[in-house]
Amino acid sequence: MTNSPGDRPSPLEAARPDGEELLADLLQGTREAPYSLSPKYLYDQRGSELFDRICELDAYYPTRTELAILAARGREISAAVGPRALVVELGSGSSNKTQALLDHLEEPAAYVPVDISREHLEAAAARVDAAYPGLEVLPVAADYTRPYSLPTPRTEAARTLLYFPGSTLGNFDLPEAEAFLARQAALAGSGGAMVVGLDLQKDVDVLLRAYDDPEGVTAAFNSNLLHRLRDELGADLDLDGFRHRARYNEDLGCVEMHLESLKDQEIRVAGRAIPFRTGQTIRTERSYKYTLAGFRDLAERAGFRVARVWTDPDGYFSVQFLEAV
């Protein structure tokens, strides 16, 4: 997933859950406190539109910061990658982040967007076709959090380059992030590499503002889940009985989004009642903020060596170049 207007955060939407999965996950995640629900449920159509708006907010620094790094360091990134890479983008991406990489690369062998959504894939393929005539585009319809295989391009590739911008990795819990990276290292194979965008630890006030913006767009994005429960599952609930909360979890080093109950109440769904006390929450997302050393250790455990790191002047965000070892 990348995150800028038009972005589709793929791992989060990867399951394309139908009502049954949403209900099963809701009941499972609220069997006992603390309650939680997978962030993938944030991204229905309205949620994706709200996420696009988040990426344009002043308070939400990651998108513009990452784009600025990619623009400033394009040449260095290209030098690290080298010519004739098979560029595999995890998630069909947004045109500006895809272009921020492709514009700089030397004769990429082919571009392979991987996304579960055929609609997003087709849009990405069409965008890249139009912007880079002559570049072979080989879309893969797959959930990239699960095993998938890569196509063989017409032009022999010098290496496989996985591209994973947007700090989407930050939405994985740490063991999950490590296992995911280990699978990518195996997929990229000998000589393979990855360019990954990762948000970094910073002042907690800056973080909390990014996840609880003054315009209330993130609050709407989070609360959209309640609308989904009502509209898709027929849940009986008080939409105004909850509020959006962003919290920093010191122990884990992540920002969390919660929906907090403003009173003692129940959500009634499918013949079940999910009780809430005043102040009780359901966690809807974790967004990990890495330190450079912490990520280096994680990447190494997963079979990657961190070869280059580029950051912005404030050290808010990083674009990292990893080589499979």
**What separation, in Å, do the N-terminal and C-terminal C-alpha atoms of the chain show?**
24
Which residue, 113 or 165, is less far from ligand AVI as judged by CB?
165
d(CA 285, CA 110): 34
Shortest spacing between CB 282 and ligand AVI, in angstroms: 15
Which residue, 172 or 310, is less far from ligand AVI as judged by CB?
172
Calculate the CA 171 to chain-centre distance: 6
Which residue, 1 or 77, is less far from ligand AVI as judged by CB?
1
* Residue 285 touches ligand AVI, criterion: CB under 6 A: yes
**Three-class secondary structure of residue 302 per DSSP:** coil
Which residue, 160 or 287, is less far from ligand AVI as judged by CB?
287
* Residue 2 touches ligand AVI, criterion: CB under 6 A: no
**Contact, 163 vs 195, CB < 8 A?**
yes
Number of residues this chain uses to bind ligand AVI (CB under 6 A): 14
Residues 153-182 that bind ligand AVI (CB under 6 A): 166-168, 170-171
* Residue 3 touches ligand AVI, criterion: CB under 6 A: yes
Residues 23-82 that bind ligand AVI (CB under 6 A): 54, 62
Question: What values do phi and psi take at 40, rounded to 5?
Answer: -60, -25
State the amino acid at position 302 in one-letter form: A
Lookup: tokens for 104: 């700089």
* Residue 211 touches ligand AVI, criterion: CB under 6 A: yes
d(CA 29, CA 228): 16
* Residue 9 touches ligand AVI, criterion: CB under 6 A: yes
Which residue, 3 or 265, is less far from ligand AVI as judged by CB?
3
Q: Are strands 110-115 and 85-90 parallel, antiparallel or unpaired?
A: parallel
3-state secondary structure 24-76: HHHHHHCCCCCEECCHHHHCCHHHHHHHHHHCCCCCCCHHHHHHHHHHHHHHH
Shortest spacing between CB 286 and ligand AVI, in angstroms: 8
Site string for ligand AVI, 94-133 (x = CB under 6 A): ----------------------------------------
d(CA 60, CA 319): 17
Shortest spacing between CB 40 and ligand AVI, in angstroms: 11
State the amino acid at position 108 in one-letter form: P
Q: Which residues bind ligand AVI (CB under 6 A)?
A: 1, 3, 9, 54, 62, 166-168, 170-171, 211, 218, 285, 287
